[in-house]
Structure 1
Amino acid sequence: MALVVLFSTFSFTVEQHYCCDNLVDFSFFGQVESCGMEIRQTQNSHNDNFDSNDCCDDITFSKNGQHDLKLTFEKLSFEQQHFVASFVYSYLNLFEGLQENVVPFSCYSSLLFVKDIHILDQIFLI
């Protein structure tokens, strides 16, 4: 249940930098690094008079999470509170251990093997 809430409220952004239709850099958490083509175009100031096409593209993909969650326990209905209380109680008692180790076959003695039957009958598991 916690994973469903986490993934439904999770927001992220992916940035990609393409140079001449080749992926140069991508980033999940920060800014992408440039390939340096923008710096070369500004250094050549005599080419600024011409309309030059920029070969670099920056693509940004953003996914916004859900932000309208019920954060208080008081706004739940009585049936929902009853369900949450029974769920928590049953989940906590799920991992409760026994007071002592119960061995149901402790009163029985083990069999006494006089001969090894597999070797006597020449039956071998392969």
Structure 2
Amino acid sequence: MKKAFQHIISLSMAFLVMFSTLSFTVDKHFCGSDLIDTAVFSKANTCGMQMSENVEDHCCSNEKVSVEGQDELNLSFDTFDFNQQLFITTFTFTYFELFETLPKQSIPFKDYSPPLIVSDIQLNDQVFLI
């Protein structure tokens, strides 16, 4: 239960970081004071009326709302000094060396079945382990 809770918390924190850095634009189309269509990442559909060059005579309007994500999480390996770079590379290398896989063992008799037992040899010879 505790392990599952830790996985849920770590995934939710990863999604929080991902969505906090996401930028997107919401496009809205109004006809008069009525909202006709909204669209995210694309252009909103119009109501079918042609918008004229003179904005004062026309009842339709478009509105764009841009939501900017934060840029403070951008880190580059080049901004670290030499000691920090050395620590990160050695830590990463030693961490991945902890999980070294074992060599694949071959079992030569894996495809062969054991011989059939015709009679119990220990009982026939009266040989018992004490």
TM-score bracket for this pair, using the shorter chain length: 0.3 to 0.5
TM-score by length of 2: 0.42
Larger RCO (CA within 8 A; separation ≥ 6): 1
The structure with the greater share of residues assigned to helix is 2
TM-score by length of 1: 0.44
